[in-house]
């Protein structure tokens, strides 16, 4: 069972689908990594810019946000920062390939 499945197992199926369908996909890798391949429709917000730039993506503290990186380490840190900032629905999706599979999206 993947990380995202483990994190969302407690949602009822309809809530899980709603969360996934309405989630912002935030790639916290560097711009260079993002340009070398990212999930279609995702937004690049490098980990070192989370605090200063998340407001450019959303001001909604209840927004569904899935952060991802190469392996899940940076996205874990990004999730913690966002939670401390007051964002309530943030999930560490883990690595780019796993998130792409879960969301049934292509890496472009």
Q: Where are the domains of the chain?
A: 3-103
* Active site members: 69
Q: Answer whether residue 32 shows pLDDT above 90.
A: yes
Fold category of 3-103 in CATH: Oxidized Rhodanese; domain 1 (3.40.250)
5 pLDDT exceeds 60? no
Q: What are phi and psi of 68, to 5 degrees?
A: -145, 160
Paired with 26 in beta bridges are 43, 67
Residue 44 CB coordination number (10 Å): 15
> Is residue 19 within 8 Å of residue 60, measured between CB atoms?
no
pLDDT for 102 equals 85
* 71 pLDDT more than 60: yes
Which residue would you say has higher pLDDT here, 82 or 102? 82
Mean pLDDT for the stretch of residues 69-95: 95
52 pLDDT band, cuts 50/70/90, is very high
What is residue 1's predicted lDDT score, i.e. its pLDDT? 40
């Amino acid at each position: 069972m993947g990380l995202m499945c483990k994190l969302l197992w407690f949602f009822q199926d309809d809530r899980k689908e709603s969360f996934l369908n309405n989630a912002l996909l935030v790639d916290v890798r560097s711009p260079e990594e993002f340009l070398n391949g990212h999930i279609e429709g995702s937004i690049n917000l490098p980990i070192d810019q989370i605090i200063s730039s998340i407001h450019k993506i959303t001001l909604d503290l209840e927004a569904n946000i899935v952060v991802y990186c190469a392996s899940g380490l940076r996205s874990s840190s990004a999730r913690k920062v966002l939670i401390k900032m007051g964002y309530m629905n943030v999930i560490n999706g883990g690595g780019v390939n796993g998130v792409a599979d879960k969301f049934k999206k292509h890496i472009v």
